[in-house]
Amino acid sequence: MTTIDLGPAGLALLAPLSRVSDADLDRETPCEGRTVGQLIQHLVGLSLAFRAAAGKDFGPLTDTSPDGDGWPELEDGWREALQEQVPAMVEAWRRTSAWQGMTRAGGIDLPGEVCGRVALDELVLHGWDLARATGQSYELDDHTAEACLGFVSTFEASGTPGLFGPAVEVADDAPLLDRLVARAGRDPQWAPS
């Protein structure tokens, strides 16, 4: 079993999040048809759900998708919620027990080791999405990016509905982060219109 520290991914997400202004909330994101506000609310829900999954705390948070009815609109208190919930989620995945045995997320039973990688993927890719949508840089260490790319590469390059779009072609020697987001179906050069 291989565990991954989600701490760097959490910090890489919280950095651009701390600079999001109210004027940014209606901006488009690389997540087709989703606004920055909707992306942030998605992060609120998934941070709770993946913390519960790490603790094997089965119930409403793990039994249903946090956005099963579509991505919800942003609720008040999101800044404080994510400043608290992302570190709590990261800490929950630092326990070896989170990575062992079976757990549940989004109503799907899966091995803890797989769920931890999904949690990493959510933090990394949506951190990049948020930074891009708000015109900010996104800084991620190579070790975390490599771990995330390893996970994303296990899926079909043609895309996986609900998870990834079709991979975007980039040069083999493209920067690691560009290769990661491209493999996840995002254009590394994406910018808001």
Residues in the chain: 193
d(CA 110, CA 172): 32
pLDDT at 66: 65
Query: All domains of the chain, ordered by start, with CATH?
Result: 7-139 (1.20.120.450)
| pTM of the predicted protein model | 0.95
pLDDT 10s digits, 39-90: 999 999 999 999 999 999 999 999 987 666 777 789 999 999 999 999 999 9
Cβ burial, residue 172 (10 Å; 0-12/13-18/19+): exposed
pLDDT at 176: 97
pLDDT at 72: 79
pLDDT 10s digits, 120-130: 999 999 999 99
The type of residue at 174 is A
d(CA 107, CA 100): 18
